[in-house]
Amino acid sequence: MKRAVLNESVVSKRMLNLGLQRVLVSCRGLRRSVGVRRILDVARLELERGRTYLLCGPNGAGKTSLLRVLAGLDAARCDTLQFDGADIDLRNYPRQMRTQLGFVHHHPVMFSTSVFGNITFGLRAAGLSREEVRRRAAAAIAWAGIQSLANRPPQALSAGEKQRVALARVHALDPILYLLDEPTANLDGSGRIMVTRLIEAIADEGRTLLIACHDRELLGLDGVVRLHMCEGRMDAAP
């Protein structure tokens, strides 16, 4: 029953998407250097709306760096970057782009307030009304199945629980592009399964995902596109 409702909304969202730009992110000549070392040199990156991309590659390939640059956390140069049809200047990272992105650290940190306070953080920052904050936070908590964690001290959560709270925290803001850095690395059996389910749910909602990862579990997702990075370069154009 619940599934059917979900599917219906997915279908309508997908149809909605047809009227929008097919390509969500289009980027050429993305470079980032630290000192004299070039740690990112991506000739071309194109992400289509509603798809899930796995960013694979060995340690130090530049996966984290690429996600951080897209999230506006690290400086980089870029020949051209378009996001949702708009030209973006990375040196002057626009705030409206930030609110459309959901970046989650490899090991997410929690604010020491409460799990609920973490979920509501972005909603409050967006200046929503108190009822709206409460409503969307409750929806995000239910979505992630973390009702039982809501009253636990955030620092005491396990790695898997933190990852789920972090996903709920960005899901509450409903971004169109999720940037997830190794979300299932170092997670135990059940934690890994639950996090994977949440990622599948995000994909089912028609959102775009770019997931840095080097485990096979997420490859079971439908229609994932695999990107491969090595020494800061993207191996093959998608």
Ligand X SMILES: Nc1ncnc2c1ncn2[C@@H]1O[C@H](COP(=O)(O)OP(=O)(O)O)[C@@H](O)[C@H]1O
170 binds another protein (CB under 8 A): yes
Note the Cα 85 to chain centre separation in Å: 19
Q: Which residue, 74 or 217, has its beta carbon nearer to another protein? A: 74
The reply on whether position 154 binds ligand X by CB under 6 A is no
Q: Is there a contact between 159 and 107 (Cβ–Cβ < 8 Å)?
A: yes
Question: Both ends of the chain: CA-CA distance in Å?
Answer: 36
Residue 64 or 184 with smaller CB distance to Mg ion: 64
Binding mask of the shown chain, residues 7 to 36, with x at each position contacting ligand X by CB under 6 A: ---------------------------x--
Please name the residues in contact with 90: beta carbons below 8 A apart, sequence gap of 6 or more. 69, 72, 75, 76, 77, 78, 81
List all residues 6 or more positions away from 41 whose beta carbon is below 8 Å from its beta carbon: 30, 31, 232, 233
According to DSSP, the residues that pair with 233 across neighbouring strands are: 230
- Using CB under 8 A as the binding rule, whether residue 109 contacts another protein is answered as yes
**Which residue from 47, 101, 141, 227 is in contact with another protein, where contact means CB under 8 A?**
101
62 binds, among another protein, Mg ion, ligand X, none (CB under 5 to 8 A by kind): ligand X
Q: Which residues bind another protein (CB under 8 A)?
A: 71-73, 95, 98-99, 101-103, 105, 107-109, 111-113, 121-122, 125-126, 155, 169-170, 173
